[in-house]
């Protein structure tokens, strides 16, 4: 990459196709702007990269919301033969109804807000069963252990994915802002370290591909590891898993862009 002299107002083009021209990044700043950024410079931002960064922000926020939401699984748990609706997150569960999802928590644990999956997993085994069918009258601890294991592993994958998403979004946003003199100066310093424009793009693409892989792995492993039932009927994947699917679609779009 040819050296650039912004103080002299040089306007050399970057070698890589699609990179913003340097002349566009060395224009005078708007004195009325607290950041010293003129409207002309903002208009010269790489619009495609801005779109990718914006989608990345949506992906990150969606992942964060999904990790902390209780709408991963809806199932029916049993206690002494009585069914209770259970709303599972990655590490906890609430028992109740849609209007009051924690109403029946006291039946299963001492926490009125949320029962922890690891505590239910380590609870005592009750072998009481229906006389005619032999089916258990209480949800087996093994089922809670299965959901706890699946949730723990998925949380780790999503946490790494969230970190990758923040890095990818930050790099992409900075790359799109090279018409801003300060940002362009930082990229000059990066190139002086041997990271050419092509290498920078490879790093960006690698981050997005890695994020795509972690989101896909999170969906696949959670769906494969969770038990099929809590003792009554089948479990049902809920809105948070749907949000993960949305993240996967958005990551695919970003990869294509």
Which pLDDT does position 72 carry in this prediction?
Answer: 92
Q: Contact, 241 vs 87, CB < 8 A?
A: no
Q: Contact, 212 vs 255, CB < 8 A?
A: yes
Residue 175: name the closest of 26, 46, 15 by CA: 46
- Tokens representing 11 are 């306007």
For residue 164, is pLDDT > 70?
yes
Q: Residue 189 burial by CB count (10 A; 0-12/13-18/19+): exposed, middle or buried?
A: exposed
Residue showing tokens 């892989």 = 213
Highest mean pLDDT among 13-17, 31-35, 117-121, 183-187: 117-121
Which pLDDT does position 219 carry in this prediction?
Answer: 92
Predicted model pTM: 0.72
For residue 45, is pLDDT > 60?
no
For residue 190, is pLDDT > 70?
yes
Which pLDDT does position 46 carry in this prediction?
Answer: 63
For residue 127, is pLDDT > 90?
no
Instruction: Write the CA distances from 170 to 43, 52, 133, 175, integer angstroms.
Output: 19, 11, 58, 9
For residue 121, is pLDDT > 60?
yes
Which pLDDT does position 249 carry in this prediction?
Answer: 92
Position with higher pLDDT, 216 vs 28: 216
Which pLDDT does position 76 carry in this prediction?
Answer: 94
Q: Phi first, then psi: what are they for 66, rounded to 5°?
A: -65, -40
Average pLDDT over residues 154-180: 87
Residue 61: name the closest of 253, 246, 254, 256 by CA: 246
How sure is the predictor about 157, in pLDDT bands with cuts at 50, 70 and 90? very high
Residue showing tokens 């922890």 = 116
> How many CB atoms are located within 10 Å of the residue 99 CB?
6
Which pLDDT does position 225 carry in this prediction?
Answer: 93
Q: Contact, 165 vs 214, CB < 8 A?
A: no
Q: In 3-state terms, what secondary structure has residue 126?
A: coil
For residue 11, is pLDDT > 60?
no
Which pLDDT does position 77 carry in this prediction?
Answer: 93
Which pLDDT does position 116 carry in this prediction?
Answer: 93
């Amino acid at each position: 990459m040819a050296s650039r002299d912004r103080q002299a107002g040089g306007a050399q083009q970057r070698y890589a196709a699609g990179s913003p021209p340097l002349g566009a990044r060395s224009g005078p700043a708007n004195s009325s702007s607290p950041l010293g950024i003129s409207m002309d410079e903002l208009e010269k931002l790489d619009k495609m990269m801005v779109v990718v960064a914006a989608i990345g922000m949506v992906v990150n926020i969606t992942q964060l919301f999904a990790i902390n939401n209780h709408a991963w699984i809806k199932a029916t748990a049993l206690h002494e033969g009585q069914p209770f609706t259970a709303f599972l997150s990655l590490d906890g569960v609430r028992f109740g109804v849609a209007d009051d999802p924690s109403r029946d928590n006291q039946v299963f644990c001492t926490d009125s807000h949320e029962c922890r999956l690891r505590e239910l997993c380590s609870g005592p085994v009750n072998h009481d069963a229906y006389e005619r069918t032999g089916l258990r009258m209480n949800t087996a601890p093994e089922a809670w252990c299965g959901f706890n294991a699946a949730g723990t592993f998925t949380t780790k994958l999503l946490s790494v994915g969230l970190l990758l998403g923040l890095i990818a979004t930050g790099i992409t946003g900075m790359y799109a802002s090279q018409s801003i003199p300060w940002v362009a100066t930082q990229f000059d310093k990066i190139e002086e370290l041997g990271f050419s424009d092509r290498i920078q793009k490879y790093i960006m693409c690698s981050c997005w591909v890695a994020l795509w892989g972690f989101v896909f792995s999170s969906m696949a492993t959670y769906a494969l590891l969770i038990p099929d039932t809590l003792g009554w009927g089948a479990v049902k994947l809920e809105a948070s898993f749907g949000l993960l699917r949305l993240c996967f679609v958005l990551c695919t779009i970003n990869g294509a862009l």
